[in-house]
Amino acid sequence: MPAISMFYGVIIYIYFFDNKKHKKPHIHVKYSGDEVVLVPHS
């Protein structure tokens, strides 16, 4: 889960091998205790 970018308190992580939940590469964005998960549609 490497952080690929950090700016103004926003941290962006990319997940390549999360076989438990999303099954696809996806991105997590965290800011001030909140989190958004971006998963591509197929």
At 1-42, the pLDDT tens digits run: 678 899 999 999 988 876 666 677 888 999 999 999 988 876
pLDDT at position 42 = 64
pLDDT at position 18 = 65
DSSP state of 12: E
How many CB atoms within 10 Å of residue 16? 9
pLDDT at position 22 = 63
CA pair distance 30, 22, nearest whole angstrom: 17
CA 40 from chain center: how many Å? 12
